[in-house]
């Protein structure tokens, strides 16, 4: 399964457009801000999750697959799958996440 949809949204990403798109698909939309090197490891959710980078770059590990997401990319994380997120940019990364 491909978890990454590259260039799903315009560059620079428009938060309102993404929130409308995700809302139509039944997802929430909230902003996260991480400093360089911040890691969130080994999460499992009971809902599906979407992630889109607004600025910066994230490395996501979903199950056994590693993905690098850049601005405008959308990542799908299925419910029940162990996943981790790391800011691999040299600057602060801003990213949207939503749950269905």
Cβ neighbors of 64 (< 8 A, separation 6 or more) are none
Domain range summary for the chain, segments of one domain joined by +: 4-99
Instruction: Report the pLDDT value the prediction gives residue 1, as an integer from 0 to 100.
Output: 67
- Distance (Å, rounded) from C-alpha 57 to C-alpha 38? 11
**96 and 29 in contact (C-beta within 8 Å)?**
yes
Q: Let me know: does 33 contact 65? Beta carbons within 8 Å.
A: no
3-state secondary structure of 90: coil
> How far is 46 from 39, CA to CA, in rounded Å?
21
Closest CA to 56 of 73, 80, 75, 43: 73
pLDDT given for residue 16 in this prediction: 97
**Which CATH class, in words, describes the domain spanning 4-99?**
mainly beta
Tens-digit pLDDT string for the chain (100 aa): 689 999 999 999 999 999 999 999 999 999 999 999 999 999 999 999 999 999 999 999 999 999 999 999 999 999 999 999 999 999 999 999 999 9
pLDDT of residue 41: 97
Is pTM beyond 0.75? Reply is yes
């Amino acid at each position: 399964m491909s978890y990454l949809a590259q260039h799903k949204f315009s560059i620079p990403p428009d938060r309102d457009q993404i929130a409308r798109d995700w809302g139509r698909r039944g997802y929430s939309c909230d902003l996260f801000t991480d400093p360089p090197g911040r890691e969130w490891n080994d999460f499992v959710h009971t809902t599906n999750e979407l992630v889109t980078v607004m600025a910066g770059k994230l490395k996501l590990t979903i199950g056994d697959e590693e993905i690098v997401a850049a601005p405008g990319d959308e990542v799908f994380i299925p419910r029940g799958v162990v996943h981790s997120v790391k800011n691999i940019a040299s600057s602060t990364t801003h990213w949207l996440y939503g749950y269905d």
